[in-house]
Amino acid sequence: MAKQFYFRLFSSGLLVLYFMVLQAEVAWGQGGAAEGRKEMVPAMFIFGDSLIDNGNNNNLPSFAKANYPPYGIDFSGGPTGRFSNGYTMVDEIAELLGLPLIPAFSEATGDQVLHGVNYASAAAGILDITGRNFVGRIPFGQQIKNFQTTLDQITENLGADDVARAIGKCIFFVGMGSNDYLNNYLMPNYDTKNQYNAQQFADLLAQQYTHHLTRLYNLGARKFVIAGVGRMGCIPSILAQSPNGSCSEDVNLLVLPFNANVKAMINNLNTNLPGSKFIYIDIAQMFEDIVTNARVYGLSVANRGCCGIGRNRGQITCLPMQTPCPNRDQYVFWDAFHPTAAVNIIIGRKAFSGDFSQVYPMNIQQLSTLNIETN
């Protein structure tokens, strides 16, 4: 559906710049933003892994790709590179913020970047060495360099002062850490587990995470949304390795120190980085609620993927042209590792307007309206 978007930036809290009208075809997938939507923030910039990647790995020499059917079977744009049958969590959040779907860095052109850019990359981690078994991927550090490239392009066109004020009002969404466990610590070809115990590794990740987030702050970011790691011991790929097909409490316990460290990190950054606000999405708690109360959410299958091969459809993830389950909206998991669009939408909505037990110390809706003074 053709829509017109007015791109805008804010200066000194007042709307001062109107950009030319852009006629664009936007693949809204499920739902879609309503006509005349109000944009709550100028833009959203996204950093992360396959849970929120929307195509940055498509042209990389990588085994971590999802630009083939049946991925995207329920997305109007088809298989774009999203590791889902439809929406990702950040697609839903963008829509709730009144923004168009955020383009991948690998594809974003022209005025598209003024609404934000998605830099997430499947198999990427906080640590540069994470995910090397998939060959090509874009680690968090390089994602930040890619953001700096975008920032330089915008600044060249609009001027440093106006860009700095606008960037301070934008949402910076970061979801990292899962691959540092799944495709590093738990991989037999990595020596990480022999070098660090669970707490030591969580401390290493928090140290590097703090460094990367501080870099973003120094580039002008002020409003941060940090997603924790979910209950990874309950994903189909781990269930498939369990003798009785139940969750691995060893894996769930392994990642607990990381989430605890991220919460502490957020408190420290809120204290030590003037004018910033970091909030934490408790993905593990949300996931547990969804599984425990699956039927309340219209879900019925939580122990296997909708598309995959082997035990729990998790031994081999969704293959090209494989026929997925027909009742996708009733599944918690789409493939061996990733939630269905139905669950992504639930989590996105909880992150946007959830209570203190789900999003700490405020939700995304509250963060978007928070007035932060930028220098």
The reported pLDDT for the residue numbered 36 is: 56
Residue 326 has pLDDT above 80, yes or no: yes
245: Cβ contacts below 8 Å, ≥ 6 apart = 239, 303, 311, 312
* d(C-alpha 370, C-alpha 368), whole Å: 6
* d(C-alpha 94, C-alpha 89), whole Å: 9
Domains and CATH numbers, the chain: 38-369 (3.40.50.1110)
Over residues 308-312, the mean pLDDT reads 96
Among 70-74, 161-165, 178-182, which stretch is predicted with the lowest mean pLDDT? 161-165
The reported pLDDT for the residue numbered 374 is: 58
Between 8 and 205, residue with greater pLDDT: 205
Over residues 158-168, the mean pLDDT reads 85
Catalytic residue check, 49: no
Confidence label for 281 from pLDDT (cuts 50, 70 and 90): very high
Residue 138 has pLDDT above 80, yes or no: yes
Residue 283 has pLDDT above 70, yes or no: yes
The reported pLDDT for the residue numbered 10 is: 29
Strand duo 223-227 + 22-25: pairing? unpaired
Residue 27 has pLDDT above 50, yes or no: no
Over residues 340-356, the mean pLDDT reads 97
The reported pLDDT for the residue numbered 70 is: 98
* The pair of three-digit structure tokens given for residue 73, joined into one six-digit string: 């079977």
pLDDT in tens, 203-260: 999 999 999 999 999 999 999 999 999 999 999 999 999 988 899 999 999 999 999 9
Mean pLDDT taken over the chain: 89
**3-state SS assignment for residue 49:** coil
Confidence label for 375 from pLDDT (cuts 50, 70 and 90): low
The reported pLDDT for the residue numbered 156 is: 81
Task: Name the β-bridge partners of 305.
Answer: 333
- Rounded to a whole number, what is the distance in angstroms from the first to the last CA of the chain? 40
* The pair of three-digit structure tokens given for residue 287, joined into one six-digit string: 């996931």
| List 49, 50, 62, 106, catalytic entry | 50
Element (H, E) at 47: strand 44-48
Catalytic residue check, 335: yes
Catalytic residue check, 338: yes
| List 53, 121, 335, 368, catalytic entry | 335
* d(C-alpha 345, C-alpha 38), whole Å: 20
Residue 105 has pLDDT above 70, yes or no: yes
Confidence label for 154 from pLDDT (cuts 50, 70 and 90): confident
* d(C-alpha 184, C-alpha 286), whole Å: 25
Chain centroid, CA 280 distance in Å: 13
| List 62, 178, 282, 338, catalytic entry | 338
